[in-house]
Chains A and B, each alone.
Chain A
C-alpha cells in the first residue's frame, strides 16, 4: 500500500514539474496578456484592440477625429458590391458566408481535415475558386475591400481562436507561429516581440510601436502611410522589409501560422475592423 502511495505521489510530482516546464497555449496567453497589463497599467484590457491608440493619448485624439469620417468607408461600400456580385454560376459570396458575411469571429481556425490554419482571406479566395471565379491578390485591393465589409458586419464578435488539444498538428502550427513571433530576423536583428512587446510604446524614429496584444483585431486597415487599405499579411511583409528580412508569401503557411498565434494571444478582445492606422 505504502509503495502505491509513493508511486502516485511521485507521479503527481512529475506531472506538476512537467506542467511548469512545458507551458501550453493557455499559459502562454495568460503570461502574454499579463505582460501588457503590467507594461501599460493605465490601459483598460479591452482597449488594447485599438492598437497604438490604446497607449498614446495624444495620438488617440487625432485618431478619434479621423474615425468620425473614416477613410475605410468607401472600402466597405466597394466590398459590399463585390460580396453581392453574382458569379457566373448564379451564386455569390453569400453562398459561402451568409447574407451579411459577419463571420470574422470564426477565423482563423484550425482545419482538421486539411491539417492547416484557414484565415478569412484564404476562405474568401477558396469561395471564389470553388465557384469558378478568379482568386484575388492577398495584400490589398479587392480582398481588403471584401474583408472590410465582412469585418464591419462582424464588429463586436469576440476573438475566440481555438487550438484543439486533440490534434498535435494544430499545436505544431501554433508553436511555429510562436517561434516566428519571438525570433530575430533580418539584418537589423529584430523579432516581432522586440518592437511590439519589449519596446512597445517606444519611439522608432518618429513612430511609436504598438502593442502586439490586440494586433489582430482590426484588419483590414487603412494606413495613412499606404494611403490605401491593406491586409494583416501586407503588414507582416512590411515589417519584415523594415528589418531587412525577405518577407514570406502572403497567406503562405508561415504567415498563416503567425496569424494563428497572434490572434490567439488576443482571445477575449473584440473584432473591431476595419480601422484607421498611421
Chain B
C-alpha cells in the first residue's frame, strides 16, 4: 500500500512541470507557460492558437489583479502546451497511416 502511494506521488510530481510544482508567483507561472510554448514551437513547429490566447488572457487577468484566474489560465496554457507536444510526438509516425495505398 505504502509502495503504491509512493508510486502515485512520484507520478504526480513528474506530471507537474517543475515551474508549477513549487509556490512560484503567478507571473512566474505565466513565464513558464510562455517559455514552454516557444520551446515546443521551435522543436516541433506545432503551435496552437488557443495556447497564445490562454497566455494572453492569463497576463491580462494578472494585470487586472485577479491572481486566481491568472494562475488557472497559466496552468491551462501549460496543459495545452503539453497536449501540443504529445500531438507532435504521435503524429511524427501516425501520419503515414493515412496515406492511401
Contacts and interface: CB of A to CB of B under 8 A. Distances in A.
Interface of A: 23, 28, 31-32, 34-35, 178-179, 182-187, 189, 191, 193, 197-198, 241, 244-246, 254
Nearest to B99: A182
B49 A178 contact: no
B95 A246 contact: no
Contacts of B100: 31-32, 34-35, 197
B98 A198 contact: yes
Nearest to B53: A244
A246 B49 contact: yes
B48 A193 contact: no
A185 B95 contact: no
Contacts of B49: 186-187, 241, 244-246
19 contacts: A23-B99, A32-B100, A34-B100, A35-B100, A178-B99, A184-B91, A184-B94, A185-B91, A186-B48, A186-B49, A187-B80, A197-B98, A198-B98, A244-B48, A244-B49, A244-B50, A246-B41, A246-B47, A246-B48
A245 B45 CA distance: 10
Contacts of A31: 99-101
B81 to A, nearest CB: 11
- Which among A23, A28, A32, A186 has the greatest number of chain B C-beta atoms within 10 A? A186
Contacts of B98: 182, 191, 193, 197-198
A245 B95 contact: no
Q: Is the interface of B mostly helix, strand, loop or mixed?
A: helix
B87 interface: yes
A187 B50 contact: yes
Given A35-B100, A187-B83, 4 more contacts: A31-B100, A179-B95, A187-B80, A246-B52
Interface residues of B, number: 19
Q: Is the interface of A mostly helix, strand, loop or mixed?
A: helix
A185 B100 CA distance: 19
Interface in B1-55: 41, 45-50, 52
A241 to B, nearest CB: 7
Contacts of A245: 46-49
B45 to A, nearest CB: 8
Contacts of B83: 187
A201 to B, nearest CB: 16
Given A31-B101, A185-B87, A191 B95 contact: yes
Given A32-B100, A35-B100, A244-B48, A189 B87 contact: yes
Contacts of A241: 49
Interface in B46-71: 46-50, 52
Contacts of B99: 23, 28, 31, 178, 182
Nearest to A178: B99
Contacts of A197: 98, 100
Contacts of A182: 95-96, 98-99
Nearest to A242: B49
A244 B52 CA distance: 11
